[in-house]
Chain A
Amino acid sequence: MLPKRASSAYLSAVPRVTGLYERTTAAFILAVLLLLAVGVTTFWGFGRINDARDDRQHSVAVRERLTGMLVHLQDAETGQRGFLLTGREPYLQPFSTGSQQARADLDTLVQLTAPDSDISPAIRALTPAIEAKLSELTETVNLRRANGLNAALVVVQTDRGRVLMDSVRQVIRGVARTEADRYARAGATVSRTTTLVEIVSASGVLLAIGFVVIAAVVLRHDASSRLAIESQLEEVSDEMRDLYERAPCGYHTLDSEGLIVRMNQTESRWLGLQLDEVIGKKTVFDLLAPEDRANARARFERLVNGEDIGTGEVRFVRKDGTRFAVLVSSSVSRDSRGVPWRVRATMLDQTEFRGARDMVNRLNASLQRHVAELEDVNRELERFSYTVSHDLRAPLRAIAGFATLLKEEHVSRLDPEGLRLLDVIHVNTERMGRLIDDLLSLSRLSRTPLVRAPVDMTTLVTGVVDDRKAAGSDGGVTITIGELPGVEADPTLIKHVWERLIDNAVKFTAGVAAPRIDIGAKNGNGAPIFTVRDNGVGLDMQYAEKVFEVFQRLHPQSEYEGTGVGLAIVQRVVHRHGGRVWVESAPGQGATFFFTLDAKGGA
Chain B
Amino acid sequence: MADAESVEILLVEDSSEDAELTLRALKKHNLANRIHHAKDGVEALDFLFARGPHADQATLRMLRVVLLDLKLPRVDGIEVLTQMRADPRTKLVPVVVLTSSREDPDISRCYALGVNSYIVKPVAFEEFIKVVSSLGLYWLLLNQPPT
Contacts and interface: CB of A to CB of B under 8 A. Distances in A.
Given A393-B121, A429-B123, A433-B123, A401 B17 contact: yes
B113 to A, nearest CB: 19
Interface stretch (A48-56, A174-182, A383-391, A452-460): A383-391
B71 A433 contact: no
Nearest to A431: B123
Given A397-B123, A430-B124, A433-B123, A390 B17 contact: no
A385 B106 CA distance: 13
Q: Chain B: interface secondary structure?
A: loop
B18 interface: yes
Contact of A394 (B100, B105, B122, B125): B100
A404 interface: yes
8 contacts: A385-B103, A389-B101, A393-B121, A394-B18, A395-B17, A398-B21, A405-B125, A433-B124
Interface of A: 382, 385-386, 389-390, 393-398, 400-405, 429-430, 432-433, 436-437, 440-441, 443-444
Contacts, number: 67
Contacts of B18: 394, 397-398
Contacts of A432: 123
A440 B21 contact: no
A289 B123 CA distance: 81
Which residue among A390, A402, A403, A405 has the maximum number of chain B CB atoms within 10 Å of its CB?
Answer: A390
A386 B104 contact: yes
A389 B103 contact: yes
A396 B24 CA distance: 17
Given A398-B17, A401-B21, A390 B101 contact: yes
A433 B123 CA distance: 6
A410 to B, nearest CB: 14
Nearest to A409: B24
Contact of B125 (A385, A395, A401): A401
B126 A390 contact: no
A403 B129 CA distance: 14
Nearest to A394: B15
B77 to A, nearest CB: 12
A444 B103 contact: yes
A357 B127 CA distance: 63
A401 B128 CA distance: 8
Interface string B118-147: 000111111010000000000000000000
Contacts of A403: 125
Interface bracket on B: 10 to 19
Given A394-B18, A397-B128, A398-B17, A430 B123 contact: yes
Contacts of A394: 15, 17-18, 100
A445 to B, nearest CB: 11
A401 B24 CA distance: 10
Interface string B59-102: 00000000000010000000000000000000000000000110
Contact of B24 (A389, A395, A405): A405
Contacts of B100: 389-390, 393-394, 397
Contacts of B21: 397-398, 401-402, 405
A440 B125 contact: no
A382 B105 contact: yes
Contact of B123 (A393, A402, A444): A393
Given A405-B21, A440-B103, 6 more contacts: A386-B104, A396-B123, A397-B17, A398-B21, A401-B125, A440-B101
A433 B24 CA distance: 22
CB-based closest 10 A-B pairs: A389-B101, A433-B123, A398-B17, A404-B125, A401-B125, A401-B21, A390-B100, A393-B100, A440-B103, A389-B103
A403 B120 CA distance: 20
Interface in B1-35: 15, 17-18, 21, 24
Contacts of B24: 405
Nearest to B70: A390
A443 B105 CA distance: 13
Contacts of A390: 71, 100-101, 104
A68 to B, nearest CB: 152
Contact of A386 (B15, B103, B121): B103
